A and B are shown apart, each in its own frame.
Chain A
Amino acid sequence: MSDVVEKTLTALPALFDSQTGAAKITNRLRQLIKSITELTSKHEEENLIKQELSAMKEQVSSPNTTMKQMREIMVRAMYCEMLGYDASFTYIHAIKLAQQGGVLEKRVGYLAVSLFLNEGHELLLLLVNTVLKDLQSTNLIEACMALTVVAQVFPKDMIPAVLPLVEDKLSHPKEIIRRKAVLALYKFYLIAPNQVQHIHAKFRKALCDKDPGVMTSSLHIYLQLIRVNSYKDLTGSFVTILKQVVGGKLPLDFNYHSVPAPWLQIQLLRILSLLGKEDQSTSELMYEVLDESLRRAEMNHNITYAILYECVKAVYTIHPKAELLEKAARCIGNFVLSPKINLKYLGLKALTYVVQHDAKLALQHQMTIIECLDHSDFTIKRETLELLFRITNAQNVTVIIEKMLDFLCYVPIKTLTFAPDNSWFIQTMNDVFSIGGDLLQQDVPNNFLRLLAEGKPEEDDQLRLYAVDSYLTVLKGHTSHLPQCFLQVMSWVLGEYAHLQESVDQREVIQFLTQLLDQRSVSSETRVWILSALTKISEGQTDLILDLAESLSSSQDTVLRQQAQELRHLSQDSQLHEWALPRGAPWDSIEVAGLIVFPYYDKLFLLKLHYVTFGTSVKTFNLAEPKITFSRYSNFFRCTCICLYINFVYHFSSSTLILEGVKRVWGKDGYLPQKEATAPLVDEPSAAVQPPGQHEAAERIESRPEPSTQNQDKQQLASSLFVGLGVGSSMSLVRKLYYDGFTVSLRGNVVDCLEARSTSVCHYALLMDDPHTNVSFTGTVSYQTQPGHTNTLPFSGTLSTADFIRPLVVTTEEYGKLWLSLSHDVKQNLKLLTDAGDPLRTTLNALKDALQLHVVDIIGSEGIVACRLLSGAPCLLHCRVNGTALAMWLRSPHPALPDCILYHCQRALTHH
């Protein structure tokens, strides 16, 4: 230090002259900071800084400005830049300051340069000569500053110019210079590795430096070098250094919370793990020191855990040694079970790393992992999923993917709470939709729309407006590549909120949407959304809409034809439009999608507007008087509506189908008072109707006008009609559920009065004609406790195909004949239960127990099984043992039945 003092003392007299200047220096900055803290608005701050900057600009260009003043200006410029204002006019002066100033000015100049300019900045070229000069300076501080700036920002092309000087510094007597030189070379290595190839020998010298700081710095380089070349011969040295460090041989200065040189330890552990990777003989050299490190790091402080974590990683990276692995695994336990959340996180991270080598380790921490999966901290959750991802196998893949999808749904909504502004949020969601596209779970667009819809008009109009603007921009570009779900979201938003944007002509919006309709890549389902949007904004644009309706009325697609019809009627009757689709109407809680259903009953018409909610209930509005008359369309028309409707419900309820009966207010003889129960899932007349006199269940159920045979015809018609209809996959599902007919079955249960405390049992048979894995049904019971006052009790339940399967008892010969006559088949490998002597029999029995199947015969490694759906359709299963799997071949006259049964078989075997 003495030589520094000497140097600085000689510089002192010059400094004393500027006393008053220095006072001013600090003053100005302090004043600036002080006045900024006193300001109340961003706007005031902007003005103040603007003034400050222009004053500074004037000052820097004035020839009278001294270096000291310049130094002061530079500090203020740094401050302004930190606040986010542009002070680029000072950059060149920062370089000048470093070039021409005394040591004090240089220090500020270099700091400003390293803050203002980055590696690619052209002004840096002007700095090269200054750096060269300072590197050669005998003043220690100047040399230090030059090296510091070189290690932070230096143009790649100029490296050769300073390289020899920096290299020389490696043998400088002062350790601080050597250390900085090593780090500068490390930086050079990172940006231009081939430039420093020739000095590898000097790095070795740095590694053996007597100063621990220089040695530590050289490890940064080695960590990089080892990734490319092998430095196996150095293993011994690294091990020795680590041993010394762990053994506490370093000066106490290097202790951090009584742990000797933790940074050095970690660096060495990283190097060792790279060296020992897939190399047994090298690994053997380090077992002892790793063991020692694991043992020593026992103090309960973050820093020891940091070392332990690195140790564990090293143990699992190098050639394995059982004893060490065991110790490391115990260490992970300490992390994972720690109540400190940071340690838990690191434990999960370590587990993620080690399960790649030994998946069983995750088993010990199952419960913690499950807890972490639902942790309120996003980071923990995310890391847990990462861990799960690593242990995914054939058995758990479905569950894990489900969890990950949950997470994916969670993300966009979660982002909103952090969203800095509307534009960011909408833009992010645009990205999510266009990239994730149709792979996204339906919840993502639903939740997004819900967020838009739920907001209060005043508060969230801004967000909605932004969405409208953003979507109009998207629609102006190429739209053919956009995922369907994004198009649907855009259609919905434009339909609901396009009117908010007054500067945009509604006709333009209609044109955009009409163009989308014409696109071949747009699916029928999306078309439905687009048309719904068009219906909403059609008001007052009769000419455009009539053209559109005209062109669509000849469409092949029944749904479109129907919607076009609705569109035409609504656009011609503004009063009706206003009523049916009120603009800006408040949303009751979470109701969103609007769909108009026009059921057709003989000559009477009913307009129903359903606000379909996201999952639970349906609201029905009735129009008291029929205003629209259709020419008699066709019988399936009504089915179309219902299917469409169900389709909607399905979409908004993500996974289970919620089916609610459309209330009928119109009967054969006109308007019916509200007295019907709605229930779902179809069926034929109940066999279990009890004599009305015996029980008093007050189910008030109205009769259906059409005889059930007619319904059956309709259903068949509907089924056949919708086969070719491409309204997405959900359409085929809709086809499988009948709505009609159930009211017939309930007719016998109308009971007049109810005695107190009596119960009544009503049986209804439900048949599933077409299977689906799960269906939900809802219904209501209406009763009167006093005349004129009707109470309603809703009920609901979920049924799966499994509930409708019965054994089909056939002989082997009959089975053979039936097998050949069946057309739809599905093949799949299932899990074989191997925990018993006869795996095939065990598996089939398990299936039989779970699903009411009939095991027809078992011959050697093959088994045949038969079942039928309650309504009649048989399904035959042919099972064969194939190694450790069960090859299953299912056949049925019904196209969807094999899939459903397969699903339930899979479930049954997984849960076994």
Chain B
Amino acid sequence: MQFMLLFSRQGKLRLQKWYVPLSDSQKKKISREVIQMVLARKPKMCSFLEWRDQKIVYKRYASLYFCCAVEDQENELITLEIIHRYVELLDKYFGSVCELDIIFNFEKAYYILDEFILGGEAQETSKKIVLKAIEQADMLQEVRNTHIACLFVLVYEVTIGSFPSC
């Protein structure tokens, strides 16, 4: 996998992970280009796109697009399932995840991604094991947060649906 992008229907980047070394300007250019291309696709079209000498595999979950660039030889369907598994992981971790969860806890989303995909390859595909690893690392924070008992209730006018149950 070359990179993974998460962006909203409005084209706002929510998460970006690059598995190939690129300069910042290249990254910006590519993400702009890819987001444009994916947003221009109609709903009934297939989830794959030829892009440069690579394939863009994307899927929309509620208001969020998940998009991966893979080598041309790669199996597009399995990439689609990688995306799905990542969504399942997020869903399980946040409990019925929605775009806001990812916006406000984007670093958590990164931790989960890093535990799932490492260096562009699927590292661990068992949901249970990935989440166990995250939980272990989270342990410190969890303990602290319960002590702080500080709750944030966020009410936004933006209504963002949660992902379909995975």
Query: Would you give the shortest CB distance from A314 to chain B, in whole angstroms?
Result: 12
Query: Would you give the shortest CB distance from A377 to chain B, in whole angstroms?
Result: 4
| Residues in chain B near residue A345, CB distance under 8 A | 46, 48, 76
- Asked if B9 CB lies within 8 Å of chain A CBs, one says no
Contact with B along A22-36 (1 / 0, CB 8 A): 110010011001100
- Asked if A420 CB lies within 8 Å of chain B CBs, one says yes
| Residues in chain B near residue A213, CB distance under 8 A | 123-124, 126, 129
Q: Is the interface of A mostly helix, strand, loop or mixed?
A: helix
Binds A, one of B60-68, B90-98, B100-108: B100-108
Contact with B along A6-30 (1 / 0, CB 8 A): 0010011001100100110010011
Q: Which of A1, A8, A79 has the most CB of B within 10 A?
A: A8
| Residue in B15, B24, B48, B137 whose beta carbon sits within 8 Å of that of A141 in the complex | B137
| Residue in A30, A119, A262 whose beta carbon sits within 8 Å of that of B104 in the complex | A30
Given A254-B125, A256-B81, are A111 and B75 also a contact pair (CB < 8 Å)?
A: no
- Asked if A544 CB lies within 8 Å of chain B CBs, one says no
Are B22 and A303 in contact, with the CB atoms below 8 A?
A: no
Number of A-B contacts (CB under 8 A): 183
| Residues in chain A near residue B23, CB distance under 8 A | 118
Q: Kindly report which residue of chain A lies nearest to residue B47, judged by CB atoms.
A: A342
Given A119-B21, A341-B46, A342-B47, are A418 and B36 also a contact pair (CB < 8 Å)?
A: yes
Given A37-B158, A82-B13, are A346 and B76 also a contact pair (CB < 8 Å)?
A: yes
- Asked if A179 CB lies within 8 Å of chain B CBs, one says yes
- Asked if A455 CB lies within 8 Å of chain B CBs, one says no
Considering the chains assembled together, what is the distance between the CA atoms of A656 and B92 in angstroms?
Answer: 63
| Residues in chain A near residue B42, CB distance under 8 A | 376
Contact with A along B32-51 (1 / 0, CB 8 A): 11001100101011111110
- Asked if A151 CB lies within 8 Å of chain B CBs, one says yes
Are A263 and B110 in contact, with the CB atoms below 8 A?
A: no
- Asked if A161 CB lies within 8 Å of chain B CBs, one says no
| Residues in chain B near residue A179, CB distance under 8 A | 123-124
Q: Which of B74-129 contact A (CB under 8 A)?
A: 75-78, 80-81, 85, 103-104, 106-107, 110-111, 114, 118-119, 121-129
| Residue in A22, A190, A256 whose beta carbon sits within 8 Å of that of B85 in the complex | A256
| Residues in chain B near residue A212, CB distance under 8 A | 126
Given A111-B110, A118-B18, are A346 and B77 also a contact pair (CB < 8 Å)?
A: yes
- Asked if A120 CB lies within 8 Å of chain B CBs, one says yes
Q: Which of B23, B126, B150, B152 has the most CB of A within 10 A?
A: B126
Considering the chains assembled together, what is the distance between the CA atoms of A877 and B23 in angstroms?
Answer: 65
Q: Which of B1-60 contact A (CB under 8 A)?
A: 13-19, 21-24, 28, 32-33, 36-37, 40, 42, 44-50
Given A82-B15, A306-B81, are A418 and B40 also a contact pair (CB < 8 Å)?
A: yes
Binds B, one of A101-109, A620-628, A789-797: A101-109
Considering the chains assembled together, what is the distance between the CA atoms of A152 and B19 in angstroms?
Answer: 7
Q: How many residues of A contact B (CB 8 A)?
A: 85
Are B78 and A306 in contact, with the CB atoms below 8 A?
A: yes
Are B133 and A107 in contact, with the CB atoms below 8 A?
A: no
Q: Which of B15, B48, B140, B154 has the most CB of A within 10 A?
A: B140
Binds B, one of A180-188, A471-479, A773-781, A807-815: A180-188
Q: Kindly report which residue of chain A lies nearest to residue B156, judged by CB atoms.
A: A37
| Residue in B37, B111, B143 whose beta carbon sits within 8 Å of that of A418 in the complex | B37
Q: Which of A336-363 contact B (CB under 8 A)?
A: 341-346, 349
| Residues in chain A near residue B44, CB distance under 8 A | 341, 377
| Residue in A103, A120, A220 whose beta carbon sits within 8 Å of that of B140 in the complex | A103
Q: For this complex, into which size category does the number of interface residues on chain B fall?
A: 35 or more
Considering the chains assembled together, what is the distance between the CA atoms of A75 and B109 in angstroms?
Answer: 13
- Asked if A500 CB lies within 8 Å of chain B CBs, one says no
| Residues in chain A near residue B33, CB distance under 8 A | 420
Are A19 and B40 in contact, with the CB atoms below 8 A?
A: no
Considering the chains assembled together, what is the distance between the CA atoms of A679 and B146 in angstroms?
Answer: 91
Query: Would you give the shortest CB distance from A910 to chain B, in whole angstroms?
Result: 32
Are B36 and A379 in contact, with the CB atoms below 8 A?
A: no
| Residue in A144, A266, A305, A380 whose beta carbon sits within 8 Å of that of B137 in the complex | A144
Are B77 and A183 in contact, with the CB atoms below 8 A?
A: no
Contact with B along A700-730 (1 / 0, CB 8 A): 0000000000000000000000000000000
| Residue in B45, B80, B137 whose beta carbon sits within 8 Å of that of A379 in the complex | B45
| Residues in chain B near residue A15, CB distance under 8 A | 140, 143-144
Are B77 and A342 in contact, with the CB atoms below 8 A?
A: yes
Query: Would you give the shortest CB distance from A629 to chain B, in whole angstroms?
Result: 58
| Residues in chain B near residue A115, CB distance under 8 A | 16-17, 110
- Asked if A689 CB lies within 8 Å of chain B CBs, one says no
Q: Which of A229-282 contact B (CB under 8 A)?
A: 251, 253-254, 256, 261-264, 266
- Asked if A83 CB lies within 8 Å of chain B CBs, one says yes
Considering the chains assembled together, what is the distance between the CA atoms of A261 and B104 in angstroms?
Answer: 32
Are B125 and A16 in contact, with the CB atoms below 8 A?
A: no
Are B45 and A377 in contact, with the CB atoms below 8 A?
A: yes
Given A78-B106, A118-B18, are A23 and B150 also a contact pair (CB < 8 Å)?
A: yes
Contact with B along A81-124 (1 / 0, CB 8 A): 01110100000000000000001100110010011001110000
Considering the chains assembled together, what is the distance between the CA atoms of A255 and B78 in angstroms?
Answer: 14
| Residues in chain B near residue A16, CB distance under 8 A | 144, 147
| Residues in chain B near residue A535, CB distance under 8 A | none
Told that A8-B139, A176-B129 touch, could you supply 20 new A-B pairs with CB distance under 8 A? A1-B136, A22-B144, A37-B156, A79-B106, A114-B114, A118-B21, A148-B114, A180-B118, A183-B121, A186-B119, A213-B124, A251-B126, A254-B126, A256-B85, A266-B75, A341-B44, A346-B76, A377-B45, A379-B49, A379-B50
In the A-B complex, the 5 residue pairs with the closest CB atoms: A306-B77, A118-B21, A341-B46, A253-B126, A306-B78
What is A's interface to B at a CB cutoff of 8 Å?
1, 4-5, 8, 11-12, 15-16, 19, 22-23, 26, 29-30, 33-34, 37, 75, 78-79, 82-84, 86, 103-104, 107-108, 111, 114-115, 118-120, 140-141, 144-145, 148, 151-153, 176, 179-180, 183-184, 186-187, 190, 212-213, 216-217, 220, 251, 253-254, 256, 261-264, 266, 302-303, 305-306, 309-310, 341-346, 349, 376-377, 379-380, 382, 417-418, 420
A-B contact pairs, 5 of them (CB 8 A): A12-B140, A26-B152, A108-B107, A152-B114, A176-B133
What is B's interface to A at a CB cutoff of 8 Å?
13-19, 21-24, 28, 32-33, 36-37, 40, 42, 44-50, 75-78, 80-81, 85, 103-104, 106-107, 110-111, 114, 118-119, 121-129, 132-133, 136-137, 139-141, 143-145, 147-148, 150, 152, 154, 156, 158
